[in-house]
Amino acid sequence: MSDVILVVNAGSSSIKFKLYRVADGAPALLLAGAMSGIGSRPALSVTDGAGAVVDARGYAPGDVPDTAAAQHCVADWLRHHVGEAAITAVGHRVVHGGPAHAEPVRIDDAVLRRLESFVPLAPLHQLRNLDPIRVLRQRRPDLPQVACFDTAFHRGQPEESERLALPRALYDEGVRRYGFHGLSYEFVTGRLREIAPGVAGGRVVIAHLGSGASLCALEDGRPRETTMSFTALDGVPMGTRPGSLDPGIVLHLIAQKGLSPAEVGHMLYHESGLLGLSGLSGDVRALLASDRPEAALALDVFCRRVAQAVASLAVTLGGLDALVFTAGIGENAPAIRQRVVAALAWAGLSLDEAANRAGAGRIDAPGSRAEIRIVPTNEELTIARHTLRLLGRPVPA
């Protein structure tokens, strides 16, 4: 009897899920779906493994007011269309594993309590990640559930990359540079070994550019440094998050502007980044389509900060053998890739413009001092593989 693995990726206003059937240790995609617009305009969409639409339906806002209700809706749909009992295990993306978790872990009461304690470190994500776990534990207490952490991949980075220039006692309490998007980096690193083994063992910077964005430096496939830090606010500007920020600004907002910590938090997580810069949108697609100068400014800042991050991480590595773009913007926005690489021309990087526009796998021009690649990410497949391993099933390398 084959395993059927459900992978759940819960966000602030959506739950994405994929269902895999496992034969000979290799997960094969059966279904992919999303419950979007939670609390406002809830809608469920499901496609099969080939991308054909299986179902699309809307819900009244009151029927899906929060992530827990959304998970109940998804579970009900799976029960009617797949058979809830057919699911062997569930793997979850959990943003923050804190100092306790450097590997995926099977969830029990103690693990769940520990993960709840990390909510202040990732308030935009962690609670939403945990809601589906609670719902599924209620519906099927016997069902194995596995937490896979966005922070875990970076736990192998050197101590000097983890340290913040703060009193040492805070580090001992867990105040350190964690890094995020680790599930994406893990997948892309593995994929790079398959398609470009010559550079996978060298000095590589991966740019995970989406509504959340970060970059990671790797040497011989191992993490050396990343742009995100203690929380998912740090690094390059994002859709609604500011990226690196003078901490004195937070003190100013509280002491001089009279904002409460909660109000500052809302500003930093929901009103900043590309949205704050442009006053128009946090979506790169909308900004690229706009002729407003504010949109152009926001994109200028974003591309410059990404290029600066590449250069900074190259210092950590002592050079650069490959630059890899991934995630929604990195995979699908040739104009952004072009502008980032153009800002790195001084370092000898150059694009093949036709290959870049076509979204080819390799997009560097002849003579570029580093390879430049596009590698689509697949966090859900990484989670499915980890879930199988924790079930004791063999998984192909």
Q: Which of 288, 369, 269 is nearest to 328 (CA)?
A: 288
Of the residues 3, 131, 150, 321, only one is catalytic, namely 150
Q: Is 7 exposed, middle or buried, given 0-12, 13-18 or 19+ CB atoms closer than 10 A?
A: buried
Contact 307, 208 (CB under 8 A): no
Judged by DSSP in three states, 267 sits in: helix
* Closest of 143, 289, 154 to residue 217, by C-alpha: 154
- Residue 125 corresponds to which amino acid? H
Q: Specify the DSSP class assigned to residue 13.
A: S
SS3 at position 366: coil
Q: How many CB atoms lie within 10 A of CB 149?
A: 29
150 given a catalytic annotation? yes
Query: 242 burial class (0-12, 13-18, 19+ CB within 10 angstroms)?
Result: buried
With H, G, I as helix, E, B as strand and everything else as coil, classify residue 149: strand
Residue type, 221: G
Give the C-alpha distances (Å, rounded to integers) separating 34 from 42, 170, 315: 10, 39, 40
Q: Which residues are catalytically annotated?
A: 150
